[in-house]
Structure 1
């Protein structure tokens, strides 16, 4: 008898494709950071990225949900999420990626689940189960592997310092995750992301304006403009829409597995787009963080 796919089966397949594509796009943001950061100063670059992203998100939220009404008690946690999860994350990433390789940075950013679990244990007194502890240990091993001097032949002048900056970005993203658990904001994921992204743009603006007054915009090329728009719309807005359009049809543990596509995307694109040389140490580090991702996914079951 021929197999007939049910509507639920089709929905599950589409949801999984959406999650995989979302993480592939998110992984490309590490490579885009290196490209955009080579042409623009830090704060101006991020303002130019967040401006179109905020405009599109505001329009999308208005179209799907109407005007966003933020409860008075939600302003502070949302601003803190913008500061930690976007501003600090991007500042540390823009400082760190030029000092190390994009491949190593992409692998290091996969430490977010482990750092989130540690912060939740320290700050929220959430229990660290056996699987979570194993996941943290595997992540730590993956990070240690990348500190081997010969791990990244195409790293910048100070790869260890660059790695520390990237880990600072990881702590910023993990702080966002912890803050989102305690914020109590009665907002949809789309509305919350729109508000946080807009707040982050406002936080970047003062220093971005100061940098813009001294920057020679005639030095920018068409490729720079395409990279900025791709970072804003592809690696940010489209990745977000794909993720949340798929995650609602799958369990948290299943969705967590697909975050493993992020370092795979970052490593592959660093070789294809930036022509970075990949080593056995990259493969070992990637294997460790991918195993950690699967362990964390099992811990959600």
Structure 2
């Protein structure tokens, strides 16, 4: 396989590392369930994510500042928080009350499918047969890992509510793509705080109590790594890959969680695990070897993000600049037409002619 351009390698690595951190959090969080109710644990995981990332931002910036975003970007971001931080967790908890855990595990794979479908059909990300097939193989592998070894039992309203939760998270992924050029720590941190407050509030309203201090500390630590830093990496991947491809890579999380459970916890690896590994490996390979190249036009745009002065960033500075790169500031892209391999990143969100 030919070497990937550096501009592609970083977001792909971020997406896979995000999947690894999130996948690793599952078997670890499972060990904490004995000391906490599931809803309360979910709240603590999200709170650990939001508060931990907030502290990291305070240390990095030596203070608190809100990143510059346009009114439209704030609109997309608030929609993302409402869908992914408020509605989805509530719908999932309501669905779990009317469906088995096995059914829920299988249905949660809908998030990746719906994320891709929305990206392709609504937000018009480009997709060829290779990308679609790769996505299908990755999701098939994830579904195999989640399959309960038999019938899933009656689904009913529980399935509908869980499917709606997946739709909300899929909308969240696509809305977050709209603000992925902004500070990833801020984007992920505020979402974590909101989701943590919502889930913890639900748990307290249902009469649940906070677990022992050791469980709280463990859950919040797992949340910072598996939910917080994972989401930061997910946002960076969105910036460079778009929603559908990032969602596809992130869908390898169940495999990574299962692999960690096998290696670290001594669980048995049966034929289903290896078949899922083969399907996911083939799907990732199809995505890694994708090449999308055509003549395209960049419209004029003004935004703020971390960048170097590459082919897409040939601008002057209206401030004293010491020549250091990468750096962050508001800059304007003039219209540009050229051809080169690219992903649907923050600079390539153009439409494609349907033939």
Larger Cα Rg: Structure 1 or Structure 2?
Answer: 2
Name 2:118's counterpart in structure 1.
119
- Aligned pairs, number: 277
Name 1:50's counterpart in structure 2.
46
**CA deviation digits over 1:107-163, x for unaligned, max 9?**
987775544221212322444311122124324543664587647xxxxx9578599
Q: Could you state the TM-score of these two structures normalised by the residue count of structure 1?
A: 0.66
CA distance in 1, matches of 2:266, 2:161: 23
RMSD of equivalent CA atoms: 4.7
Structure 2 unaligned residues grouped into runs of 5+: 1-5, 293-355
CA distance in 2, matches of 1:191, 1:71: 15
- Say yes or no: does 1:206 pair with 2:205: no
Specify the SS of the correspondent of 1:100. helix
Give the CA deviation at 1:179: 1.3
Contact 2:131 2:290 in 1 (8 A): yes
CA distance in 1, matches of 2:27, 2:74: 32
**CA deviation digits over 1:175-208, x for unaligned, max 9?**
2221123x45863222211222223234335323
Q: Could you state the TM-score of these two structures normalised by the residue count of structure 2?
A: 0.58
CA distance in 2, matches of 1:126, 1:18: 20
Higher relative contact order (Cα pairs below 8 Å, separated by 6+ residues): 1
Give the CA deviation at 1:61: 2.2
Specify the SS of the correspondent of 2:269. coil
CA distance in 2, matches of 1:149, 1:237: 29
Give the CA deviation at 1:27: 0.9
- Say yes or no: does 1:231 pair with 2:226: no
Which structure is higher in strand share? 2
Contact 1:147 1:160 in 2 (8 A): no
Structure 1 unaligned residues grouped into runs of 5+: 1-8, 152-156
Contact 1:35 1:227 in 2 (8 A): no
Q: Given the superposition, is the C-alpha separation of residues 239 and 127 from structure 1 closer, same or farther in structure 2, using an over 3 Å criterion?
A: closer
